[in-house]
A and B are shown apart, each in its own frame.
Chain A
């Protein structure tokens, strides 16, 4: 039996018996992402649902000065309720969080309106609070609509067509597909997948050097008539297998989870059926070699299992960096960007979910560059494994 195969088989077998490794690889990594995702989606669905559909209670000071306005608000599903007695009390109430939004109608509102002087209405709210800010915006929209209506009525009373007030009729034609809109939200998926993939191999990668050394099993292993390259490659391959399993599970978990999340209510139809799961697996799987080699490399510098865990956890964050930069800069996918591992997987995955056709060249560049980086990293690992200091 080839040494690489013997090492690979033993590592896989050994780790399948290790409950801790199995838990991280097959449960924690794959499940963590979908649960967090379902939570975030449900929250945003709930947030958008509150708009318009649900009646908003807003305390209004000086309701008696503007009965028509109060009626109008009522027609917009905004109920004017009892308010603090004056403006100062209202500001205080908003500051302490007792009310989110308070509308203040001054005494001279009716008079100003009659005299054609712009009549002041105040909206008191804490704009730093996102819930309050949304309510305030809704109140503001209602008030603007009221203002428009009065303006139209005034022009009509003077025999002027209300259209003169609207020289432009701006109409936005939204060509985004429902799957396109989902891509924005599902963009973070790619990181979850890479995270799950890396978590799956974490314990194996640590075990290969720091773990074996701590257990005292490294020295007898190195006394065997086997090249160290063979040992390390066997270990890296076993790590790759665990990472692939973790990846496959997390993809399937997401596919199942999406059936239970009301994405349609957000106007999204994610394109993530069984075919996409399969394609996503093949797009992401080349990353396992790079991930496994990188983690093994980092772990081989450390002195103990604990220390290795700390450092390897940092590796979990490394693949986010390119994704983060590109998300902030809103860069479009180009073939050059496909040279960057983790980023190329992210961009291809987003395209896949948007239901855009995959460009063969992009896929080829992504797979080749990621595999090349992985092989290079594995060679660096083997080189480090050859040094004498490995044992000390």
Chain B
């Protein structure tokens, strides 16, 4: 469970966030939707503690991201934007490295790593060096290392970027299976269809504020648009006008 309460954050004169609040519940997939530069990445970066908010707070399973950042980080698995791998290490070694840093029991690491390799279907290239991997392979490995410690909360920043159709399909399946397992999944995207196909809850962000937070059906009702894309555009324009 991730709770976000009135986050404010500026970079110099630029106000990236001005009061973002929402909850992402366990067993649900929450999509953070918004145009480029709306503040999605800033919000997620505050959640995985590499940025601190100027105002407001956020908790992950009750752990405050500022005052208990180490604890909060232990409760999440993260796929930051454009997550890089170590090119001289194999996929498996990349995952093992993270498992060690999560402080997992040494005796269990090999088994857990194999589990996540099976789960994400990366057996074929698990023991190859990651140098020269395709974007799809890279994302899978980066996801595997984020999930190896079995976190309750999963934060993904634009996970489908640069993936082909097949890779996107398997990513969706994975996200659904995490939901089935009762996890809290929060991911950002600027692609409407992707969010519509997957999410139980949609948080639309525009100009550093939450424009709408509802289920896909709820959003259709509120905006009076049948098409989610129309609804998205309308919600953003409402913020722009106010």
Residue on A nearest B98 in the bound complex, by CB: A224
Contact A3 B89 (CB under 8 A): no
* Count class of interface residues, chain A: 20 to 34
Contact A225 B83, beta carbon cutoff 8 Å: no
> What is B's interface to A at a CB cutoff of 8 Å?
48-52, 70-71, 73-74, 76, 78-89, 93, 97-98, 100-103, 106, 129, 142, 145-146
Give, as a whole number of angstroms, the nearest-CB distance from B137 to chain A: 15
Considering the complex, give the chain A residue whose CB is closest to the CB of B11.
Answer: A392
Which residues from B are CB-within-8-Å of A67?
none
Asked if A217 meets B85 with Cβ closer than 8 Å, knowing A6-B97, A224-B101, A225-B71, the reply is yes
Which residues of A pack against B, CB within 8 Å?
1, 3, 6-7, 10, 13-15, 17-18, 212, 215-227, 388, 391
The verdict on A6 contacting B100 (CB below 8 Å), with A216-B84, A223-B49, A388-B52 known, is yes
CA distance A391 to B42 in the complex (A): 13
In the complex, the chain B residue whose C-beta lies closest to that of A215 is B84
Bound CA–CA A154/B71 (angstroms) = 103
Q: A227 near B101 (CB under 8 angstroms)?
A: no
- Determine if A222 and B101 form an interchain contact, defined as CB atoms under 8 angstroms apart: no
Which chain B residue has the least Cβ–Cβ distance from A21?
B88
The 3 closest A-B pairs by CB, nearest first: A216-B84, A225-B74, A217-B84
Q: CA A212 – CA B82 in complex, angstroms?
A: 12
Question: Do B83 and A220 touch across chains, with their CB atoms under 8 A apart?
Answer: yes
A217 touching B86 by the CB < 8 A rule? yes
Tell whether, in the assembled complex, residue A217 and residue B102 are in contact, meaning their CB atoms are under 8 Å apart.
Answer: no
CA A227 – CA B93 in complex, angstroms?
21
- What CA separation (Å) do A15 and B81 show in the bound complex? 25
A219-B71 contact, Cβ under 8 Å, with A3-B101, A225-B102: no
Q: Whole-angstrom distance between the alpha carbons of A226 and B100 in the complex?
A: 10
How many A-B residue pairs have C-beta atoms within 8 angstroms? Tell me: 80
- Known A14-B88, A225-B70, A388-B51: A220·B79 in contact at CB below 8 Å: yes
Other 12 A-B pairs with CB < 8 A, given A216-B84, A225-B74, A388-B52: A17-B88, A17-B89, A212-B84, A215-B87, A219-B83, A220-B142, A220-B146, A222-B49, A223-B78, A224-B98, A225-B71, A388-B50
Nearest B-chain residue to A212, judged by Cβ:
B84
Minimum CB–CB distance for B141 against chain A, Å: 11
What is the bound-complex CA distance between A34 and B83, given in angstroms?
A: 43
Whether A7 lies near B80 (C-beta < 8 A) is no
Which of A1, A215, A227, A388 is within 8 Å of B70, CB to CB? A227
B142 / chain A contacts, CB cutoff of 8 Å: 220
Let me know if A217 and B83 touch, CB within 8 A. yes
Interface pair B97/A219, CB less than 8 Å apart: no
Main secondary structure of the interface of A (DSSP, over half): helix
Contact A14 B74 (CB under 8 A): no
A219 engages B106 (CB within 8 Å): no
Please pick, from A1, A18, A217, the residue contacting B106 in the complex, using a CB distance under 8 A.
A1
A216 B73 Cβ-Cβ under 8 A: no
Q: CA–CA, A7 to B49, complex, Å?
A: 20
Contact A226 B101 (CB under 8 A): yes
- Give B80 Cβ to nearest chain A Cβ, in Å: 4
Distance (Å) between the CB of A21 and the closest chain B CB?
A: 9
Instruction: Tell me whether A223 and B80 are in contact (CB under 8 A).
Output: yes
- Rounded to whole angstroms, the CA-CA distance of A217 and B87 in the bound complex is 10
Are the CB atoms of A223 and B73 closer together than 8 Å? yes
Complex contact A14–B70 (CB within 8 A): no
List, sorted by A's number, 22 A–B pairs whose CB atoms are closer than 8 Å: A1-B106, A3-B100, A6-B97, A6-B100, A6-B101, A10-B86, A10-B100, A14-B86, A14-B89, A212-B84, A215-B84, A215-B85, A217-B83, A217-B86, A222-B50, A223-B50, A223-B80, A224-B101, A224-B102, A225-B71, A225-B101, A388-B50
**A219→B93 CA distance, assembly (Å):** 18
CB-CB under 8 A from B98, the residues of chain A are: 220, 224
Check A223 against B101 for contact (C-beta < 8 Å).
no
Instruction: Known A6-B101, A225-B103; judge A219-B80 contact (CB<8 A).
Output: yes
CB distance from B78 to the nearest CB of A (A): 4
* A3/B103 contact (C-beta < 8 A), A18-B88, A224-B73, A388-B50 known: yes
* Contact partners of A1 in chain B: CB under 8 A: 100, 103, 106
Which chain B residue shows the least CB distance to A218?
B84
Chain A residues whose C-beta falls within 8 Å of the C-beta of B76 in the assembled complex: 223
> In the complex, A217→B129 CA distance in Å?
15
Interface centre among B71, B84, B103 (most CB of A within 10 A): B84
Contact of A225 among B73, B82, B84, B146 (CB under 8 A): B73
Flag if A223 contacts B48 (CB, 8 Å): yes
CB-defined contacts of A222 to chain B, threshold 8 Å: 49-50
Contacts of B48 on A, CB cut-off 8 Å?
A: 223
> A221–B101 Cα gap in the complex (Å)?
9
- Docked-complex contact B78 and A220, CB < 8 angstroms: yes
- Cβ of A249 to closest chain B Cβ, rounded Å: 22
Q: Is the pair A220, B80 in contact by a Cβ cutoff of 8 Å?
A: yes
Complex CA gap A377/B76 in Å reads 33
- How many angstroms between the C-alpha atoms of A7 and B106 in the bound complex? 15
B80 touches A10 (CB 8 A): no
Question: Which of B83, B100, B101, B146 is in CB contact (< 8 Å) with A216?
Answer: B83
The distance in angstroms between the C-alpha atoms of A1 and B49, with both chains bound, is 23
